[in-house]
Amino acid sequence: MRAALRWACGLVLVVALAALAAHDTLAPAVGAAADTAAASPAPRVTTEKNTCLDCHRGLEGRLSAPTKDFSQDIHAVRGLGCAGCHGGNPRDPEMSAMDPEKGFKPAPAKKEVAEMCASCHANAEYMKHFNPQPYIFSMAEFRTSVHCKKIEEGDPKVATCTNCHGVHGILPPRDPRSPVHPSNVAFTCAKCHNAEYMKGRTVPTNQLALWRASVHGHALLEKGELSAPACNDCHGNHGARPPRTRDISLVCGNCHGREGELFAQSKVKETLEFEGKRGCVTCHSNHDVKPPTDAMIGFDGDGVCGRCHTPDSPGARAAAIIVPGFHGFKARIARADSLLIVAERLGMEIESGREMLKQANDHLVGLRATLHSFSLEPIQAALAEGSGLADRAEVDARAALRDWRNRRIGMALSLVVIVALIALLVAWIRGMERPTA
Amino acid sequence: MERRRFLAWLTRIAGTALGGFILYPVARYIVPPATPEATTRRVLAAKKDELAPGGSKTFAFGPQPGLLIRTADGQYHAYTAVCTHLGCTVQYRAGGGDIWCACHNGRYDLEGRNVDGPPPRPLEVYAVHEEGGDIIVEKATPS
Amino acid sequence: MTGGVRAWLEERLGLEALRHVAEKKDVPVHRHTFWYYWGGMTLFLFGIQVATGILLLLYYRASADEAYESVRFIMTRVSFGWLIRSIHSWAANLMIGAAMIHMFSAFLMKAYRSPRELTWLTGMALLGLSLAFGFSGYLLPWNQLAFFATKVGIDITGAVPMVGEFLARFLRGGEHITGGTLTRFFGFHVAVLPALATAGLVLHVYLVQRHGMSLPPSVEDAGRPVPRMKFVPHFLLRDAVGWLAALGMLALLSALFPWELGLKADPYASAPAGIKPEWYFAWMFQTLRMLPSHIAGIEGELIGVLGIGLGAMVWLASPFLDDPRGRGRRARLMSALGVVALVYIVGFTLLVYRGPKP
């Protein structure tokens, strides 16, 4: 009997402890933090004692790792110490600081990380203390992403907040050292999206290499143009997911507005959607977008029209009109330009010709966008107008050259008269002063 | 004797020719050219009924293009046609009642204010006067 | 008919007296007679400047907003505007060149000896006015080169001790070069300077007529009587040959090397590289450039300005410093000084254009 009682007590004790432990790890962090936030609207700023750091700094390996970069962490800078996320008592130097009763939450499991971050970052009222215009939709976006789906399915090799943003040395995205700064984002994604990590999965893994060689990659990494897209600009930040086939042109069109607009109204978009093909990507590719060249127009050489159109299609017939028209226009501009340069070198003023050529060039730039309407009428209209301007510039240049020639003729004639007059005067002087015999 | 008279005659001819070479350019010079003044301040942009309501026209204002618009109510508006973003030439869209830049989709309203797209500043607005049968565009004096 | 008109004018204007003076005037003929033509050449070119200047006035506008555009208008829209403007710019340079040749030849021939001291002084004043014409006119097209060259020029003026600061502010019309400077320079160029130049010219030409042409000492020493040629028509016809040659030169230069428009002045842009003043100031510019920044604790630029000023004073005082007869050691020294000055000026001018870039 005594043995059974002992067993029963032990069992009760174990169950109670287990229940307590389970309660702490499984209790929704959202509720706890939300309660505290609602109860005390002001953030818990701990600027004085932080015994967590003091103690953990002296420990080894995994336990001291969080202390290394924490002083730079944006949360620390804003006054939220360890207790800001983990709860507990930062003024207590004993182990009792980590008392779950005092609200302590140890390191969350992968599934819980997003909820933990969202407990503050999705709370508009709370975030407003730090930023009058906070971004509070990361969690809602994350829920739409492939990453979130896979986490819910229990996949351990998937990204959550801390995988991209870091955990105990989180820097704001604006900071060039942050792993989510535009110049670093692609490499952060590639930490998982590479052949080795993704072994055994069907996800393609060559995107980083392709993107780095692309015009976007060059712009961002080499020229430092922060407006150039990295992975997140097309796939989404938190709602990371490849765009649907028929949304691709909208994604590209977010920056390439004119082309996107024209394309959206064109017949090509309809056809591509119907056939389930990808807009923009069909001609320009998606990760390794190269700078477009005029050689892409048409069927020959680098021409992309042949990717969809057969040589006897209406599209091919249109190309047969557009391609020579386009190159003819460029040739006109080049010709006018070379004549204007000659006139300039000769010292003639050709401001209005230059102005017209500039407008012709503007039309050329616009024409390259107009091509995306894939409709013969507007393209021909733009070609006609632009060619007209280039022709007028050429006329101006030729008039200047004619003027220059006329000036030289006039000068030569006047010099003839002057030299003749000088000779006559000299003869007159000689005649007058001839010694009388 | 004959030689001397011949030379004198020749001298007179040459002298007259030289006089012509001097006086002809001067005479042409003092006659005012077609546009009487450098178009820095004001310019004749169009004739009275050249533009129908809803129509527009690009005209030269000095070395830069200007845009003259006639809205549906018959009123004229004029602006510089140089987009404040990267200098492309803007155009009027009667349908949308706005001024649009084809290069990067910048948009301005009829007051010249930049309302959409990359342009950082409004378009400079010019004053328009009707004088006789001419539509004159002038740089607006700062108020 | 012309005889009747002439007689009518004769009676009223008293042209007889003028004709008498003209007929009496003669010019000595000797080895150095060639140099006598250069005063008339300078006058001829000045006449060209007045004529083309008045024509330019019909279209030029002297405000910072419109100056450049009006010059472009003249160059591109006005018939033969390019010709009038190019002639005006080239003739300005030729005139100053002719004036300097005239000055150096007068110096070396010691034409400044008594009783022609005032002729020399008025001549120097006219040269100064020509330089002022050149400096003020250069700014009027309001292009980048002109703007910054003027800025450098006035800054150097500011280096003159005591009066420099005031002088610079007076020229600029303020602390910086602005549209106000342009208006002021225009006023100088078309009103003040022409008035002073007219007065100076009248005086100078009157004095030349009064005292006649001087003989260089070497010719005087020869002892032989010097043959003379009548001014009208012999000397005048020869003058005309020279003037025609100058006219041809101007036609050639204007057609082959039309004066450029440049870029509109932008006070906020950085000065274009290689800014230098017009060639007639180049030797002063080069002198100042070559001086070290400090000499014995005093600013190099100040030393340069003072040095040039001192040199100018000595040059001006030549009639009083030289031997009155133009002979002897003092005279030889002065001639040597003249040659040194000529070589210095020519050399330093060439250095600016052909020498190593600073």
Of A227, A261, A292, the position where a domain reaches its end is: A292
Q: Kindly identify which residue of chain C lies nearest to residue B28, measuring between CA atoms.
A: C79
Contact between C77 and B38 using a beta-carbon 8 Å cutoff: yes
Contact between C70 and B35 using a beta-carbon 8 Å cutoff: no
Helix (H) or strand (E) holding B106: strand B106-108
Tokens of A244: 């649907």
Span A159-175, average pLDDT: 91
Contact between C78 and B33 using a beta-carbon 8 Å cutoff: yes
pLDDT surpasses 90 at B80: yes
C-alpha C15/C-alpha C94 separation (Å) is 33
pLDDT digits (tens, 9 = 90+) for C223-235: 788 899 899 889 9
pLDDT digits (tens, 9 = 90+) for A231-287: 999 988 898 888 887 788 888 988 888 888 899 899 888 888 888 888 888 899 889
CA C326 to chain centre: 26
Q: What percent of chain C has pLDDT over 90?
A: 60
Q: Give me the pLDDT at residue C90, please.
A: 97
Contact between B105 and A257 using a beta-carbon 8 Å cutoff: yes
pLDDT surpasses 60 at A339: yes
pLDDT surpasses 60 at A375: yes
Pick among A352, A356, A358, A362 to test the B interface (most B CBs inside 10 A) = A362
Tokens of C293: 């920044």
Q: pLDDT-based confidence at A1, cuts 50/70/90?
A: low
Q: Give me the pLDDT at residue A351, please.
A: 81
Which chain C residues are closer than 8 Å to A407 by Cβ? 82-83, 255
Higher pLDDT, A77 or A33: A77
Q: Give me the pLDDT at residue A15, please.
A: 59
pLDDT surpasses 50 at C179: yes
Q: Which of A8-17, C50-59, C169-178 ranks highest by mean pLDDT?
A: C50-59
CA neighbor of C40 nearest in space, from C124, C101, C108:
C101
Neighbours of chain C (3+ CB pairs under 8 A): A, B
Higher pLDDT, A221 or A240: A221
Pick among C79, C82, C252 to test the B interface (most B CBs inside 10 A) = C79
Tell me, yes or no, if C245 comes closer than 8 A to chain A by beta carbon: yes
What ipTM did this prediction achieve? 0.86
Whether residue A318 is found in the same domain as residue A394: yes
CA distances from C209 to A97, C44, C114, C226, C234 (A): 115, 17, 15, 19, 17
Chain B residues 50-69 with a CB less than 8 Å from chain A? 60, 63-65
C-alpha A219/C-alpha A223 separation (Å) is 5
State the DSSP code for A221.
Answer: I
Span C313-342, average pLDDT: 92
Chain C residues 31-60 with a CB less than 8 Å from chain B? 55, 58
Residue A192 falls inside a structural domain: no
Residue A167 falls inside a structural domain: no
Whether residue A343 is found in the same domain as residue A282: no
CA distances from A227 to A49, A257, C142, C168, C249 (A): 42, 14, 40, 50, 60
Which chain C residues are closer than 8 Å to B40 by Cβ? 65-66, 69-70
Residue A231 falls inside a structural domain: no
pLDDT digits (tens, 9 = 90+) for A287-320: 999 999 999 998 888 889 888 889 899 889 999 9
Which chain C residues are closer than 8 Å to A422 by Cβ? 241, 244-245, 248
Contact between B38 and C65 using a beta-carbon 8 Å cutoff: no
Contact between B29 and C73 using a beta-carbon 8 Å cutoff: no
> Worst-scoring range by mean pLDDT, A8-12, A328-332, B7-11, B130-134?
A8-12
State the DSSP code for C257.
Answer: S
> What SS3 state is found at A166?
coil
Higher pLDDT, C51 or B64: C51
pLDDT surpasses 50 at A23: no
Contact between C234 and A429 using a beta-carbon 8 Å cutoff: yes
Which chain C residues are closer than 8 Å to A401 by Cβ? none
Residue A178's identity, in one-letter code, is S
Whether residue A288 is found in the same domain as residue A318: no
Q: pLDDT-based confidence at C339, cuts 50/70/90?
A: very high
Which chain B residues are closer than 8 Å to C81 by Cβ? 29
- DSSP H helices, chain C, are 2-13, 15-24, 37-57, 67-76, 81-108, 117-139, 144-157, 164-172, 179-187, 193-211, 217-221, 236-256, 279-290, 300-316, 318-321, 329-354
Q: What percent of chain A has pLDDT over 90?
A: 40
CA neighbor of A336 nearest in space, from A410, A269, A399, A420:
A399
Residue A278 falls inside a structural domain: yes
For chain C, the average pLDDT equals 91
Whether residue A336 is found in the same domain as residue A368: yes
Whether residue A339 is found in the same domain as residue A388: yes
Q: Give me the pLDDT at residue C22, please.
A: 84
Pick among A351, A355, A392, A425 to test the B interface (most B CBs inside 10 A) = A355
Which chain C residues are closer than 8 Å to B37 by Cβ? 73
Which chain A residues are closer than 8 Å to B86 by Cβ? none
Residue A293's identity, in one-letter code, is T
Q: Give me the pLDDT at residue A17, please.
A: 60
Whether residue A403 is found in the same domain as residue A320: yes
Could you give the number of structural domains in chain A?
Answer: 2
Write out the residues of chain A at the interface with chain B, using a CB-CB cutoff of 8 A: 257-258, 261, 351-352, 355, 359, 362, 365-366, 369, 413-414, 417-418, 420-421, 424-425, 427-428, 431
Residue A302 falls inside a structural domain: no
Residue A236 falls inside a structural domain: no
Contact between B28 and C81 using a beta-carbon 8 Å cutoff: no
Min Cα separation A416/chain C (Å)? 9
Min Cα separation B15/chain C (Å)? 11
Chain A residues 325-384 with a CB less than 8 Å from chain C? 347-349, 351-352
Name the burial class of residue A146, with classes exposed (0-12), middle (13-18) and buried (19+) by CB atoms within 10 angstroms of its CB.
middle
Span A149-161, average pLDDT: 91
Whether residue A252 is found in the same domain as residue A283: yes
pLDDT digits (tens, 9 = 90+) for C18-40: 888 888 889 999 989 999 999 99
Q: Which of A125-129, B122-126, C121-125, C321-325 ranks highest by mean pLDDT?
A: C121-125
Contact between A352 and B103 using a beta-carbon 8 Å cutoff: no
Question: B–C: how many Cβ contacts below 8 A?
Answer: 42
Whether residue A318 is found in the same domain as residue A402: yes
Q: Give me the pLDDT at residue A60, please.
A: 86
pLDDT surpasses 80 at B30: yes
pLDDT surpasses 60 at A437: no
Which chain C residues are closer than 8 Å to B25 by Cβ? 79-80, 83-84
pLDDT surpasses 80 at A36: no
Whether residue A320 is found in the same domain as residue A285: no
Q: Give me the pLDDT at residue A47, please.
A: 53
pLDDT surpasses 60 at B113: yes
Question: A–B: how many Cβ contacts below 8 A?
Answer: 53
Tell me the DSSP string of A291-317.
PP-GGGSSSSTT--GGGT--TTSHHHH
Helix (H) or strand (E) holding B143: none
Whether residue A279 is found in the same domain as residue A335: no
C-alpha B17/C-alpha A236 separation (Å) is 82
Residue A174 falls inside a structural domain: no
Residue ranges of domains in chain C, CATH in brackets? 29-216+229-272 (1.20.810.10)
Q: pLDDT-based confidence at B141, cuts 50/70/90?
A: low
Tell me, yes or no, if B31 comes closer than 8 A to chain C by beta carbon: yes
Q: pLDDT-based confidence at A171, cuts 50/70/90?
A: very high
pLDDT surpasses 90 at C70: yes
Contact between C257 and A347 using a beta-carbon 8 Å cutoff: yes
Q: pLDDT-based confidence at A24, cuts 50/70/90?
A: very low
Q: Give me the pLDDT at residue B1, please.
A: 62
pLDDT digits (tens, 9 = 90+) for B37-47: 766 778 888 88
Span C330-350, average pLDDT: 93
pTM: 0.72
pLDDT surpasses 90 at C126: yes
Range of the domain at A377: 314-408
Partner residue opposite C79 with nearest CB, options B18, B29, B37: B29
Helix (H) or strand (E) holding B137: strand B134-139
Span C240-269, average pLDDT: 91
Tell me, yes or no, if C246 comes closer than 8 A to chain B by beta carbon: no
Residue A80's identity, in one-letter code, is L
Contact between A258 and B105 using a beta-carbon 8 Å cutoff: yes
Q: Give me the pLDDT at residue B139, please.
A: 84
Tell me, yes or no, if C190 comes closer than 8 A to chain B by beta carbon: no
Contact between C69 and B29 using a beta-carbon 8 Å cutoff: no
Q: Kindly identify which residue of chain A lies nearest to residue C234, measuring between CA atoms.
A: A429
Partner residue opposite C258 with nearest CB, options A347, A351, A433: A347
Higher pLDDT, B64 or C357: B64
First-to-last alpha carbon distance for chain A, in angstroms, is 174
Residue A185 falls inside a structural domain: no
Chain A residues 388-427 with a CB less than 8 Å from chain C? 407-408, 410-411, 414-415, 418-419, 421-422, 425-426
Residue A369: CATH number of its domain = 1.20.140
pLDDT digits (tens, 9 = 90+) for A415-430: 999 999 999 999 989 8
pLDDT surpasses 80 at A28: no
Min Cα separation A248/chain B (Å)? 20
For chain A, the average pLDDT equals 85
C-alpha C179/C-alpha C177 separation (Å) is 7
Tell me, yes or no, if C353 comes closer than 8 A to chain B by beta carbon: no
Tell me, yes or no, if B25 comes closer than 8 A to chain C by beta carbon: yes
Pick among B11, B22, B116 to test the A interface (most A CBs inside 10 A) = B11
